[in-house]
A = this chain, B = another copy of it.
């Protein structure tokens, strides 16, 4: 089963966006190969969430690639000497930015897509509520598509591994609405940068703020599991 279906590699962090992305890929008829990364992120619960989600969505395979980039430093998400701050509205690129993270993740997805002879790579970036990260913009995705065409065997042979970013023009509320229509149970997803080991969210970091606001704007009950004292 799944042998003659078109294949897609789906980047799966275990959060709300990437889970919606997986549901969309599945709904489009792809046999899905979920790919997660252990890059020394402090919020380990998201990897456990990714495992559960890959299972629930019957991913053909789920690979967790380990990547020791934490030692290079530079982000509050991996560097023990930098605290993850609570939400602050700002136009600046925040300290939670992991340098070149999406480029690294897409590159490894590209390698796997070549091996699998997959037709597409799905990535759940969004340029609307994008937290100010440069590698979430449409022009960035277009540049990666161009690179992918030149970097690969199949590209050289004139085929394309399509970089699909179906959420790129959606707000968080629109993503949640799309997921709701696909019957996603978001209680299993973890977006929080400070989630505890049970995957319960802090409710106060950037990522929690955007997620909470998304459920409010979508007028859909927030299924997130919060840590007891806040909610």
Contacts and interface: CB of A to CB of B under 8 A. Distances in A.
A150 interface: yes
Contact of A67 (B67, B101, B150): B67
A1 interface: no
A231 to B, nearest CB: 35
Contact of A143 (B102, B106, B146): B146
Given A66-B67, A147-B103, A147-B147, A153 B93 contact: yes
27 contacts: A65-B67, A65-B71, A66-B68, A67-B108, A69-B108, A69-B111, A72-B108, A73-B115, A93-B156, A97-B153, A99-B115, A100-B107, A100-B152, A102-B151, A103-B107, A103-B110, A103-B151, A104-B104, A104-B111, A106-B107, A107-B107, A134-B150, A134-B151, A139-B150, A140-B150, A143-B147, A146-B147
A68 B68 CA distance: 9
A63 interface: yes
B72 A112 contact: yes
A74 interface: yes
Interface in A64-97: 65-69, 71-74, 93, 97
A135 interface: yes
A152 B102 CA distance: 10
A166 interface: no
Select the residue from A107, A108, A144, A155 with max chain B CB neighbours within 10 A.
A107
A115 B114 CA distance: 30
Select the residue from A103, A108, A114, A115 with max chain B CB neighbours within 10 A.
A103
Contacts of A112: 72, 99
Interface string A113-146: 0110000000000000000001101011001101
